[in-house]
């Protein structure tokens, strides 16, 4: 039988890396499914019961993303100073409070106010915050942990869309929101607290002489600005493409039923690309993953713009590129700037990306209404080309750094 001191010591012992990633990954499925993917299933029954505008109901997610972007710089600073445990605890508490508020909302104003709280939960508990936590825990060795985590996140819609539909059928949409709040209380919060127990209080001291893996870089402000620009454009392309995918496909002559079937390939293509990156990524620098990501998204948009007769190829290419762009969002800053500054930099990088992700779907709708679907696809293609130019500039600076060292 364990003594009290032995039990206390065991509670302070950090879990193994695989256990940490699994626990945080399972919590990510629930976090994404009850926030970002929330409207896909919940919007219609909410509108049907309340009579609230569909635009405002769906706009809760955009509001949440805006709030997440606003809090992200502070989140990075907290993770840097104190580790991810207090941040992830805050996330769970905000998910519980926000989902409960949505469930009990008597008016649209209260509903949107609950999304403000949920937005804080998103900013403290989705990828950027958890990437920062893993970077602080494992230093430069966090690359595989980050990639593995995104494999879990890739199944959020697969798991939570049917779960949401089943709960709404059995409990109504308000009861389903309360059920999600209970799952965060009884499932996600304990997992996250278990995963971060015994985490060190001081930033990890990691020595490395590897250029591009934490070594000093010239013109770091320019490097960071290029990286932020690339990730912002990738976020915008992904948000507009995913939200308006069916419109784009129908404009290319794909029927509604076929478009829905094709849409189901988007998630698996992301996961498949992340698996490939996980298997082979240790053999090359993450900057090449970024090159591949932007190239795949651009190739998909070129085929869509040209009216390709095989739209499945468009979905697979763009989905794969966008899927690994979310991996690079964590692994490339870690490799370029090192683990000690990584949590703070993740907060700075997340701020513009989340802001763009929040407004991009509405901007895409305005573009479709004002200039037409074909011109909108052309605009997205232009953005993809600009992104490739930014990647080329970043790659050039990185290679220059290698030569100088």
Q: What is the pLDDT of residue 115?
A: 97
- Cα separation of 349 and 26, whole Å? 24
Q: What is the pLDDT of residue 4?
A: 45
Domains 16-195 and 220-404 share a fold: yes
Q: Are 166 and 33 in contact (CB under 8 A)?
A: no
**221 vs 184 pLDDT, higher one:** 184
Considering the chain, what is the average pLDDT of its residues? 85
Q: Are 209 and 330 in contact (CB under 8 A)?
A: no
> Which tokens hold the place of 320?
């794969």
- Owner of token pair 């985490």: 199
* Homologous superfamily (CATH) for 220-404: MFS general substrate transporter like domains (1.20.1250.20)
Mean of the pLDDT values across residues 243-254?
A: 81
**226 vs 246 pLDDT, higher one:** 226
Mean of the pLDDT values across residues 169-191?
A: 96
Q: What is the pLDDT of residue 119?
A: 96
Q: What is the pLDDT of residue 6?
A: 47
User: Which helix H or strand E contains 325, and what residues bound it?
Assistant: helix 311-337
Query: What count of other Cβ atoms lies within 10 Å of the Cβ of residue 179?
Result: 18
Q: Is residue 211 over pLDDT 50?
A: no
How far is the CA of 216 from the CAs of 77, 141, 211, in angstroms? 21, 18, 8
**307 vs 293 pLDDT, higher one:** 293
Q: Residue 202's pLDDT band (boundaries 50, 70, 90)?
A: very low
Mention every residue, 6+ apart, whose C-beta is less than 8 A from residue 251.
373, 374, 377
> Which tokens hold the place of 40?
């896909």
Torsion of CA 89, 110, 34, 276, to 10 degrees: -90
Torsion of CA 102, 104, 110, 116, to 10 degrees: -30
Query: What would the pLDDT profile of 68-120 be if each residue is shown by its tens digit?
Result: 999 998 998 899 888 889 999 999 999 999 999 999 999 999 999 999 999 99
Q: What is the pLDDT of residue 215?
A: 45
Q: Residue 212's pLDDT band (boundaries 50, 70, 90)?
A: very low
Compute the 3-state secondary structure of the chain and give helix, strand, coil in percent, each to the nearest 5.
85, 0, 15
Q: What is the pLDDT of residue 240?
A: 86
Q: Residue 219's pLDDT band (boundaries 50, 70, 90)?
A: low
Query: What would the pLDDT profile of 148-176 be if each residue is shown by its tens digit?
Result: 998 898 888 778 888 998 999 999 999 99
CATH 2.40.128.20 assigned to 16-195: no
* Domain ranges (residues) in the chain: 16-195, 220-404
- Which of the given ranges, 13-22, 93-102, 199-208, 388-397, has the highest pLDDT on average? 93-102
**273 vs 257 pLDDT, higher one:** 273
Q: Which of these, 322, 49, 5, 21, lies nearest to 147 by C-alpha position? A: 21
- Cα separation of 258 and 246, whole Å? 9
> Of the given ranges (240-244, 307-311, 344-348, 352-356), which has the lowest mean pLDDT?
307-311
Q: What is the pLDDT of residue 199?
A: 62
**84 vs 184 pLDDT, higher one:** 184
CA geometry: angle 190, 194, 196, nearest 5 deg: 120
Q: What is the pLDDT of residue 7?
A: 45
Q: Which of these, 134, 45, 37, 49, lies nearest to 83 by C-alpha position? A: 134
H helical segments located in 184-285 = 189-195, 220-243, 245-251, 256-263, 266-280
- Cα separation of 336 and 322, whole Å? 21
Query: What would the pLDDT profile of 32-77 be if each residue is shown by its tens digit?
Result: 999 988 887 898 899 999 999 888 888 898 899 999 999 998 998 8
pTM: 0.83
Q: Are 395 and 227 in contact (CB under 8 A)?
A: no
Q: Residue 262's pLDDT band (boundaries 50, 70, 90)?
A: confident
* DSSP three-state, residue 284: coil
Q: Which of these, 387, 368, 388, 390, lies nearest to 377 by C-alpha position? A: 368
> Of the given ranges (14-18, 197-201, 286-290), which has the lowest mean pLDDT?
197-201
Q: Is residue 265 over pLDDT 60?
A: yes
SS (H, E, C) 53-84: CHHHHHHHHHHHHHHHHHHHHHHHHHHHHHCC
Q: What is the pLDDT of residue 395?
A: 86
Q: Is residue 123 over pLDDT 90?
A: yes
Q: Are 84 and 138 in contact (CB under 8 A)?
A: no
């Amino acid at each position: 039988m364990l003594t009290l001191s032995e039990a206390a010591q065991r509670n302070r012992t950090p879990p193994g890396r695989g256990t940490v990633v699994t626990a945080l990954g399972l919590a990510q499925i629930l976090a994404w499914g009850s926030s970002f993917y929330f409207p896909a299933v919940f919007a219609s029954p909410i509108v049907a019961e309340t009579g609230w505008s569909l635009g405002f109901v769906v706009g809760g997610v955009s509001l949440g993303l805006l709030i997440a972007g606003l809090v992200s710089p502070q989140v990075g600073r907290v993770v840097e100073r104190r580790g991810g445990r207090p941040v992830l605890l805050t996330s769970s508490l905000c998910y519980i409070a926000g989902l409960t508020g949505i469930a009990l909302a008597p008016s649209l104003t209260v509903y949107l106010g609950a999304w403000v709280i949920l937005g804080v939960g998103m900013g403290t508990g989705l990828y950027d915050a958890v990437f920062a936590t893993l970077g602080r825990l494992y230093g430069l060795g966090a690359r595989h942990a980050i990639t593995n985590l995104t494999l879990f996140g890739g199944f959020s819609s697969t798991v939570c869309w049917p779960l949401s539909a089943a709960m709404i059928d059995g409990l109504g949409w308000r009861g389903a929101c309360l059920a999600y709040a209970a799952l965060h209380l009884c499932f996600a919060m304990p997992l996250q607290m278990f995963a971060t127990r015994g985490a060190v209080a001081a930033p990890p001291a990691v020595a490395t002489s590897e250029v591009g893996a934490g070594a000093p870089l010239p013109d770091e402000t320019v490097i960071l600005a290029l990286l932020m620009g690339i990730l912002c454009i990738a976020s915008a392309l992904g948000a507009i493409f995913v939200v308006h995918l069916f419109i784009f496909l129908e404009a290319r002559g794909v029927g509604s039923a076929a478009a829905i079937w094709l849409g189901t390939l988007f998630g698996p293509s992301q996961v498949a690309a992340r698996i490939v990156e996980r298997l082979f990524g240790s053999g090359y620098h993450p900057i090449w993953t970024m090159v591949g990501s932007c190239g795949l998204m651009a190739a998909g948009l070129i085929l869509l713009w040209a009216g390709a007769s095989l739209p499945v190829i468009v979905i697979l290419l763009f989905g794969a590129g966008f899927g690994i762009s979310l991996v690079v969002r964590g692994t490339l800053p870690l490799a370029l700037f090192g683990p000690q500054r990584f949590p703070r930099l993740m907060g700075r990088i997340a701020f513009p990306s989340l802001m763009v992700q929040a407004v991009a779907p509405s901007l895409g709708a305005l573009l479709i209404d004002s200039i037409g679907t074909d011109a909108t696809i052309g605009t997205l293609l232009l953005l993809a080309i600009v992104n490739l130019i930014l990647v080329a500039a970043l790659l050039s600076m990185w290679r220059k750094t290698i030569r100088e060292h």
